[in-house]
Amino acid sequence: METTWAPRLRDAGLRVTRPRLAVLDALAGHPHADADTLVTVARQAHPTISPQAVYGVLKALVAVGLARRVEPAGAPALYEVRVGDNHHHLVCRSCGAVADVDCTVGAAPCLSPSDTSGFVVDEAEVVFWGLCADCQGAGRPAVVPGASDRVRQQAGQQHTRGGAGA
Amino acid sequence: METTWAPRLRDAGLRVTRPRLAVLDALAGHPHADADTLVTVARQAHPTISPQAVYGVLKALVAVGLARRVEPAGAPALYEVRVGDNHHHLVCRSCGAVADVDCTVGAAPCLSPSDTSGFVVDEAEVVFWGLCADCQGAGRPAVVPGASDRVRQQAGQQHTRGGAGA
DNA sequence: ACCCTTGATTTGACTCATTCAAGAAAAGCG
DNA sequence: CGCTTTTCTTGAATGAGTCAAATCAAGGGT
């Protein structure tokens, strides 16, 4: 298992180390994990790995393109090893679950703005917000900032803060 | 100027207060400002306003739909008073400048994923990453996490404009 | 196989945006 | 005009992520 990663690390100019293999394996098994989760999971293979080491490994992996960092609004950053295919994400407003969405266009940027305002665009990042299958029937409140409040404003509903946590 | 906001606050069920008017005016004059900037600007109209008051006001405004919160990856949250038209954003990887992009489709969600994975989607958030006009010639490095490194390696993947699809 | 250089990790402290809590102020109804 | 509720102030705390110095190890050279 681990042997699959070694050549990819070397090809990227990175040394093959135990923390890196542990984090890569953790990433492979947890497609959209945050740093904290990765620390926990990576410790199964490397019990003494430190949180800072995980941050360092992730930063290195992202820098060379072996991993991708995703930062949904209102949640800690997530990491994934699926790179290079410019796919997008579905995020649940209630529980924070993330699912991949294939980009039908393919290469980045898959979309282009009609008026670039002088910008040179190289990537279009798309996040679809909604409720996952599990949360739809549970009547759970949206806890992630976004349009949910506007969506509900017609109903005049007030809602309290729910606990979504980790 | 301030009188324009008062009825909108009341219509939203919020009391009309000096801090709120100051923040709304600051927002109107600074279309994509972060909380810290808003504190500085709002103090011109209300010198004693506290940062926490600004956070509280912004939260209230977002909750009732008078303001929108945008959280580009790797930067503090930005706020804007342009709401209800589901527009998107261009963000400069180098300086963090933000520009609006009209959504040609109009109503949210303007895009729909091909495979929803069981999610009920209510909004598609699109962020176009690139370099603003000022940063293009300056040879400034990208400081915002993203695909810039990977994109550079496969330069030339520019696509023709697909309209503001978003 | 060993050593050495360079890159990686550990340890610990620290920054920053944002939030929480309790008391004081003021908006707006009656 | 006073009362009630909302909102603001003051002060402290949280949590994700970063920075820096010192130790450790990967892997090429000898």
Give the residue with greater pLDDT, A115 vs A89: A89
Report if CB B18 to strand C is under 7 Å: yes
Selection from A31, A144, A129 nearest residue A79 by Cα = A31
Q: Mind spelling out the 3-state secondary structure of chain A?
A: CHHHHHHHHHHCCCCCCHHHHHHHHHHHHCCCEEHHHHHHHHHHHCCCCCHHHHHHHHHHHHHHCCCEEECCCCCCCEEECCCCCCCEEEEECCCCCEEEECCCCCCCCCCCCCCCCCCEEEEEEEEEEEECHHHHCCCCCCCCCCCHHHHHHHHCCCCCCCCCCC
What average pLDDT does range B88-103 have in this prediction?
A: 92
Tell me if B23 sits within 8 A of B80, measured CB to CB: no
Asked if A148 lies within 8 A of B121 by C-beta distance, the reply is no
What lies within 8 Å, CB to CB, of B83 at 6+ separation is: A150, B65, B66, B67, B68
So what's the pLDDT on residue B51?
96
Q: Which single residue is written with the structure tokens 């003494």? A: A48
Nucleotide nearest to B55 (CA to C1'): C18
A110 known ligand binder = no
A8-44 tens-digit pLDDT: 999 999 999 999 999 999 999 999 999 999 999 999 9
Give the residue with greater pLDDT, B163 vs B78: B78
State both tokens at A126: 């798309």
So what's the pLDDT on residue B104?
67
Look at the alpha carbons of B126, B132, B137, B138 in this order and tell me if their dihedral is positive or negative: negative
Domains and CATH numbers, chain A: 4-70 (1.10.10.10), 85-143 (3.30.1490.190)
So what's the pLDDT on residue B159?
33
A92 known ligand binder = yes
So what's the pLDDT on residue A84?
81
B97-137 tens-digit pLDDT: 999 998 866 666 778 887 889 999 999 999 999 999 999 87
CA B133, CA B125: separation in Å to the nearest integer?
23
Q: Is any Cβ of chain A less than 8 angstroms from the Cβ of B159?
A: yes
Q: A50 pLDDT exceeds 90?
A: yes
Radius of gyration of chain B (CA): 18
Burial readout B132-143 (b: 16 or more C-beta within 10 A, e: otherwise) = beebeeeeeebe
What average pLDDT does range B87-99 have in this prediction?
A: 94
Q: Is any Cβ of chain A less than 8 angstroms from the Cβ of B124?
A: yes
So what's the pLDDT on residue A159?
31
Asked if A99 lies within 8 A of B119 by C-beta distance, the reply is yes
Residues 86-115 of B with CB under 8 A from A: 86, 88, 90, 92, 99-102, 104, 108-109, 111-115
State both tokens at A89: 């994400």
B24-80 tens-digit pLDDT: 999 999 999 999 999 999 999 999 999 999 999 999 999 999 999 999 999 999 999
So what's the pLDDT on residue B86?
83
CA A149, CA A145: separation in Å to the nearest integer?
8
CA B135, CA B129: separation in Å to the nearest integer?
13
Q: Smallest Cβ distance to A131: which of B99, B119, B145? A: B119
Report if CB B20 to strand D is under 7 Å: yes
Q: Smallest Cβ distance to A145: which of B69, B136, B164? A: B69
What average pLDDT does range A117-122 have in this prediction?
A: 92
Asked if B131 lies within 8 A of A151 by C-beta distance, the reply is no
Residues 6-45 of A with CB under 8 A from B: none
CA A77, CA A61: separation in Å to the nearest integer?
14
Look at the alpha carbons of B99, B102, B103, B106 in this order and tell me if their dihedral is positive or negative: positive
pTM across the whole model: 0.82
Report if CB B52 to strand D is under 7 Å: yes
